[in-house]
Chains A and B, each alone.
Chain A
Amino acid sequence: MIRIANGQGFWGDWLEAPVRLVEQGPLDYLMLDYLAEVTMSILQKQKAADPALGYARDFPPLVARIAKLLRERHVRVLANAGGVNPIACAKEVRRLAPALKVAVVLGDDILDSLDSLLAAGHEMRNMDTGEPLSTIREEIQSANAYLGAFPIAEALATGADVVITGRCTDSALAVAPMIHEFGWKEADYNLLAAGTIAGHVIECGAQSTGGNSQVDWQTIPDMANIGFPIIEVEPDGTFTVTKHHGTGGRVTAAVVKEQLLYEIGDPRQYTMADCFADFTTIRLTDEGHDRVGFSGIRGGPRPPTLKVSISYHYGWKAVGTLVFTWPQALEKAQAADRIVRTHLDQLGLQFERIHTEYFGVNACLGAAAPPVGDPAEVELRIGVRGADRKAADRFTRELIPLVLNGPPGATGYGEGRPKVREIVAYWPALIPRETIRTRVEVVE
C-alpha cells in the first residue's frame, strides 16, 4: 500500500497545507497542483520578460521549507509547478534545497511547434465551438498538451526526490506513483481508471475532506485546521480516501460523493490521457473514522489523442460597482443601470456584451434566487467586454458620476474607477498523441 496526499488544489491554495501533510502523519508521495486553465499564459509572459521565470514561484521556497522532513520521512514530491519553464523551476529548487535530487518532465509545451503542427494538417479545432485554431493564430500566448502519468513515472524511476512537470492532467500526478510502485502498464486500463478516479478525488485538495462541502456543513469539525486528502492505494487498484488523524474536516461517503461529481461530464466516459474511467462502476464503502473505501472501478483504453490547452488574447473587460440603499434600493440600481446604458449608447461605444447584476437580489442565482422584498442594500455591478480597449476604458468613467447625477444615496465608490483588464481565453483542442514527444531530465 502507498499513501499519496494532495497539498495544493490550485495555485493560491492554503500555504500551510503541504507542510502539515508532511509533519502530521505518514506519507509516501505529496502531489501539488498549480496550473489552472489560463495560468500558462501568465507564465509565458513572465518567461518572455525573464528567461529564468515562467514557473510557480511559490513552489521552490515551499520545498526548501520541508526539505529536511522529506528526506527524513522518505516523502517524494510531484508538482506541475514547472509551468512553461520546468528546468528553471528545478534549478531554483536545487539552489534552495541542494540535498534533494530533482527531475523534470518535458515535452508538453508546443508553442514553438504550432506552425509546423498546423502546416502538417492538425487543425486543433476548438472542442466547444468547432472553429479551427488558424482563426486565432496571431493571438496565441501559450499552448500545452496535457501529459499523462507514464512520463512522470519515468521521472520517479530516476530516484528523484522531487518531480516537476509542466502541463499534465491533475490526476496524472497521483497515478504516476502507482505506475512506479506497482508496475502498472499502459494496457492495464481498469487499474489506471481506478488510479484516475483516486486522483480526481484528491486533486481539488480539501474539497474531499469537508471543504466546500454542502452536506451538513455547519457541523464539520475544526475547519480552521482542515486535513488535506490522502489516498491509500493497493496494487489491485482498490483505495481508501482519508486524512491525517487529529486534523479538522470530515471524510464521509456523502462528502466524497460531492467531489466525485465535481467538474465531470458523462460519468461513463471520464476521459484522461491514459484511459477513460466509468464512474458508474464505483463501489463506495463508508468505513467510519474518516475513511471511505473504493472498489470495483472499471474503465477503457486511452484515446488516440491528447488534449491541448491553448490560451489566446480575446479582448478587454471592465467591471464596476455602485451601492444603493433602502428604500427602493433595487429600483435605484435599475435606474442607474439604465442611465449608464443610455450614456454608452450615446457615446457610440461598441461592446460584445454589457452585463448587469444586482448584488443581494439575483447576482449569482438569477431566476432561481429566492425573493428579497425591499432589501437593505443592493450593489449594482455592470461589466463590459469587447475588442476595443479604449471603449472599455471610457466605460470605467461612467459609474462614479452617478453619485451626484443619478438616483439618491449611491455610495461604495471608494476604490475609484474600475480597471480595464485583458481577457486571455482558453481554447481546448485535441492532437494525435504521437505528435507529442516527452523526455525526462535530472537537473544537477
Chain B
Amino acid sequence: MKVPLSRIAHTRSGDKGDLSNIGVIARAEKHYAVLVREVTAERVKAHFGELVKGRVERFELPNLGALNFLLHEALDGGGTISLRTDAQGKTHGAALLAMEIEIEEGEL
C-alpha cells in the first residue's frame, strides 16, 4: 500500500551554500530497510521538481537508521544571493515527508 513518508520517518534540513541537505531518520529500527528501498536519490529529485536544479546524492547511516540527502543547486544560489523565502532549505525536510512510499502492512 501507499503511505506518506511521514508514517515511518522524521527529517531535518539545512543549507551549505546552494546545497540543501535533508537528514531522514527511521522512526523504528525496522523502518530503515524501507527507507533504503523506497527513498532513492532519483525519487527525491523527482519529488522536488523545479525546486532542485542539480543532482541529488544519498548517503547511508545504518548505525543511526538514517539517510542523508544532498540536493545540489537547490536554493537559488543560497545564502544571501537567494531570492527565495526559504533560502536555507529549512522546510525541505518537511516537504519530503509528503512523498508517497510503497510499504507492506507488516513493515509499518
Contact = CB atoms under 8 A, between A and B. Distances in A.
Chain B binds chain A = yes
Interface of A: 37-38, 128, 207, 212-215, 254, 257-268, 279-284, 314, 317, 319, 353, 355, 357, 359, 363-370, 381, 383-385, 423-426, 428
Nearest to A384: B83
5 contacts: A215-B27, A260-B66, A261-B21, A383-B84, A426-B80
Contacts of B63: 280-284
Contact of A258 (B25, B61, B62, B91): B25
Contacts of B66: 257, 260-261
Given A258-B10, A368-B98, A264 B83 contact: no
Interface in B68-87: 68, 70, 76-77, 79-81, 83-86
For the complex of A and B, 10 pairs with smallest distance between CB atoms: A261-B23, A367-B49, A383-B83, A366-B51, A355-B83, A368-B95, A263-B14, A258-B12, A215-B10, A364-B91
A281 B63 CA distance: 7
Nearest to B24: A261
Interface string B83-108: 11110000101111011000000000
Q: Max chain B CB contacts within 10 Å: which of A213, A257, A261, A284?
A: A261
B10 A214 contact: yes
Nearest to A268: B59
Given A262-B23, A365-B91, A369-B95, A280 B61 contact: yes
Nearest to A216: B10
Chain B, interface residues (CB within 8 Å), range: 35 or more
B64 interface: yes
Contact of A262 (B12, B83, B85, B86): B12
B29 to A, nearest CB: 11
B14 A425 contact: no
A282 B66 CA distance: 12
Contacts of A280: 60-63
B25 A363 contact: no
A357 to B, nearest CB: 6
Given A214-B10, A261-B68, A281-B63, 10 more contacts: A215-B25, A254-B27, A257-B23, A257-B65, A264-B21, A265-B19, A353-B77, A368-B49, A370-B98, A383-B83
B76 A353 contact: yes
Contacts of B96: 368
Report which residue of B49, B83, B91, B99 has the largest number of chain A beta carbons within 10 angstroms of its beta carbon: B83
Contacts of A267: 59, 61, 68
Contacts of B51: 365-368
Contact of B48 (A263, A319, A368): A368
Contact of B64 (A38, A215, A284, A426): A284
A11 to B, nearest CB: 15
A426 B23 contact: no
Contacts of B76: 353, 355
Nearest to B51: A366
Contacts of A279: 61, 64
B45 to A, nearest CB: 11
A254 B50 contact: no
A-side interface mostly: mixed
Given A367-B50, A368-B49, A261 B25 contact: yes
B16 interface: yes
A260 B64 contact: yes
A259 B12 contact: yes
Contacts of A257: 23, 25, 64-66
B101 to A, nearest CB: 14
Nearest to B74: A366
Contacts of B99: 368
Nearest to B62: A280
A317 B83 contact: yes
Contact of B25 (A254, A264, A314): A254
A147 to B, nearest CB: 19
A334 B90 CA distance: 26
Which of A365, A367, A368, A369 neighbours the largest number of chain B CB atoms within 10 Å of its CB? Answer: A368
B95 A364 contact: yes
A214 B86 CA distance: 17
A391 B15 CA distance: 29
Contact of B83 (A212, A263, A353): A353
Contacts of B81: 314, 385, 423, 425
Chain B CB count within 10 A is highest, among A259, A263, A317, for A263
A215 B23 CA distance: 12
B10 to A, nearest CB: 4
A314 B64 contact: no
A368 B60 CA distance: 23
A37 B86 contact: no
B11 to A, nearest CB: 6
B47 A428 contact: no
A207 B90 CA distance: 13
Given A263-B16, A265-B70, A381-B85, A424 B21 contact: no
A359 B80 contact: no
Contacts of A363: 84-86
